[in-house]
Structure 1
Amino acid sequence: MNPMRALRQYQKVNSHAQISEASPHRLIQMLMEGALERMAQAKGAMARGDIPQKALLITKTIDIITGLRAGLREENTDDKEALRQLDSLYEYMTKQLTLANAKNEPELIDEVARLLITVKSGWDAIAPE
């Protein structure tokens, strides 16, 4: 067996194990980490001129942010306004990533990464229930 293929298979199994054991709080953290990782990879692909890979990674990031946005539930919070603001922020991130993809602008990816890091740091500060 190819050693790289074996490593990827191990990582996939390990990732599935982490997901199945993770709390809902940890799952959100993992999604945010995954989005940040894919944005960094997309910038690398952009720098190399690997347009198909850049587009794939930005699309994966948008999918993650869309998933985070879809997970927002009014019934889970007393602060409806904060929830609406976070929903709008996720929508803005998606638009900026779409623009970054279309215009090949790494600065837009950086902007979204900074915004997501801010959201993630707030989420990280919340103790899981």
Structure 2
Amino acid sequence: MMGKNAYETYQMNSVNTASGSELTLMLYNGCIKFIKQSKKDMEAGNHEGKNRNIQKTQNVIQELMLTLNRDIPIAQEMLPLYEYMHHRLTQANLKNEAPILDEVLEYAVEFRDTWKQVILLNRQREFPEGAQI
């Protein structure tokens, strides 16, 4: 039990000390994790687990939509994509179709990977090679 409590404490500290960009990365990773688990549940015939994990994924996507800075032009382009993903998850849940989950997973992975690149570029600008910290 002690190991589980230590891990939960570590997770909570990670979230509490993360920057906004790191939190967004965590949301993308959570989205990917829940989609993959939904697919496993779907393949195993675990309808309750599939439903629960699809709903978790939808909650993550809703959080991503809420945290968009609408003053930035790219946010205006991201919002419809998030809405589309949310809608497709509903369809996957109702129709029990794994290919729809694969489609949403592709978007989530692409967004996550792009976001990682944004974080790296920002860090490089903040701390150029050879700069003194």
Q: TM-score by structure 2 length?
A: 0.85
| 1:65 paired to 2:61 | yes
What's the CA shift for 1:8? 3.7
Alignment RMSD (CA, Å): 1.4
Q: Distance in 1 between matches of 2:7 and 2:92?
A: 29
Structure 2 residues without counterparts, runs of 5 or longer = 124-133
Q: Does 1:108 align with 2:104?
A: no
Instruction: Provide, for residues 21-66 of structure 1, a one-character-per-residue CA deviation record: whole Å limited to 9, x for no partner.
Output: 1111100000100110011011111111110111000000000001
| 1:32 is the counterpart of 2:28 | yes
Q: Would you say how many aligned residue pairs link Structure 1 and Structure 2?
A: 121
* Structure 1 residue aligned with 2:40: 44
Provide the TM-score with structure 1 as the length reference.
Answer: 0.87
Larger of the two Rg values belongs to structure: 2
1:95 is matched with 87
Structure 1 segments, 4+ long, off by >4 Å, are: none
Whole-Å separation in 2 of the counterparts to 1:7 and 1:111? 36
| Cα distance between partner residues in 2 of 1:7 and 1:99 | 39
In the alignment, residue 120 of structure 1 is paired with which amino acid?
A: R
Change (3 A) 1:46 1:26: same
Alignment partner, residue 13 of structure 2:
17
